[in-house]
């Protein structure tokens, strides 16, 4: 098979690409990257010197594709399946990408800020002001999303599963660990449950389970 995905099973952004591949049963070779292992790290950097995963390599087309949203666009264009991640309709496409960016920028990245602060080496290295800002961003984003989910099942345009929903699952799954949804956000909780119920997301969770012990508790 021509596709290889360089990733780590615990990485939240890697989940987004994996969900896309699993949704369409797209054949690919999984290549787990261990940045703590010199050989694994060097092999990955030879593919993508920036050193951020996931990265999709398509040997048949001699293309190296980084960044999760770009990977899913690439799959739509060159390895399509029954699920189209972004509509061919221009208006539907920008609306889908809006929510894709919403989840990545306003929930996913602030969540990573909180998690990253937990694994800093000492209290002196922590950033309580930055964490408070991240929590405020997540809370504001939850409020927007709760309202949007009043009359839709999925966040991609046309109320069908797509790019925005691939972005939503890892963002909300991990955000719920650091800023629990609880009973405050019932529509988001129900949406997250729908996402978890999809076979693609369930497979991602199953593969990540052995690594969850490395996730830093609060």
pLDDT at 123: 87
pLDDT per residue over 24-48, tens digit each? 999 999 999 999 999 999 999 999 9
Query: Got the DSSP string for the chain?
Result: --EEEEE-TT-HHHHHHHHHHHHTT---EEEE--TTSHHHHHHHHHH-TT--S-EEEETTTTEEEESHHHHHHHHHHHS--SS-SS-SSHHHHHHHHHHHHHIIIIIIHHHHHHHHHHTSSSGGG--HHHHHHHHHHHHHHHHHHHHHGGG-S-SSGGGSS-HHHHHHHHHHHHHHHHS--TTT-HHHHHHHHHHHHSHHHHHHHHHHGGGGGGSPP-
Q: Is 91 exposed, middle or buried, given 0-12, 13-18 or 19+ CB atoms closer than 10 A? A: exposed
For the ranges 4-8, 55-59, 117-121, 194-198, the lowest mean pLDDT is seen at 117-121
pLDDT range class, residue 217, cuts 50, 70, 90: confident
CA 175 to chain centre: 11
CATH hierarchy code of domain 3-78: 3.40.30.10
Length of the chain: 218
**pLDDT (0 to 100) of residue 1:** 64
- Considering the chain, tell me which residue range(s) the CATH 3.40.30.10 domain(s) occupy: 3-78
pLDDT band of 184, cuts 50, 70, 90: very high
Domain 90-198 fold = Glutathione S-transferase Yfyf (Class Pi); Chain A, domain 2 (1.20.1050)
> Could you tell me the sign of the dihedral formed by the alpha carbons of 130, 176, 33, 71, in that order?
negative
Proportion of the chain above pLDDT 90, given as a percent = 92
Name the average pLDDT for the chain. Answer: 96
Portions of the chain given CATH number 1.20.1050.10 = 90-198
Tens-place pLDDT, residues 51-102: 999 999 999 999 999 999 999 999 999 999 999 999 999 999 999 999 999 9
Cα 164 to Cα 161: distance, rounded to the nearest angstrom: 8
């Amino acid at each position: 098979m021509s596709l290889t995905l360089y990733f780590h099973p615990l990485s939240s952004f890697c989940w987004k690409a994996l969900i896309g591949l699993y949704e369409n049963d797209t054949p690919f070779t999984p290549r787990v990257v261990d940045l703590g292992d010199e050989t694994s790290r060097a092999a990955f950097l030879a593919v993508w010197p920036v050193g951020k995963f996931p990265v999709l390599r398509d040997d048949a087309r001699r293309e190296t594709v980084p960044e999760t949203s770009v990977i899913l666009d690439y799959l739509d264009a060159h390895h399509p399946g029954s699920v189209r991640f972004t509509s061919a309709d221009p208006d539907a496409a920008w609306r889908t990408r809006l929510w894709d960016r919403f989840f990545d920028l306003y929930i996913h990245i602030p969540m990573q800020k909180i998690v990253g602060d937990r694994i800093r080496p000492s209290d002196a290295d922590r950033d309580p002001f930055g964490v408070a800002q991240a929590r405020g961003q997540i809370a504001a984003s939850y409020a927007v999303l709760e309202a949007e989910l009043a009359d839709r099942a999925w966040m991609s345009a046309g109320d069908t599963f797509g790019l925005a929903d691939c972005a939503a699952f890892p963002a909300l799954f991990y955000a719920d660990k650091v800023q629990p949804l609880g009973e405050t956000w019932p529509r988001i909780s129900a949406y997250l449950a729908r996402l978890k119920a999809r076979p693609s997301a369930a497979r991602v969770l199953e593969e990540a389970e052995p690594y969850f012990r490395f996730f830093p508790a609060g």
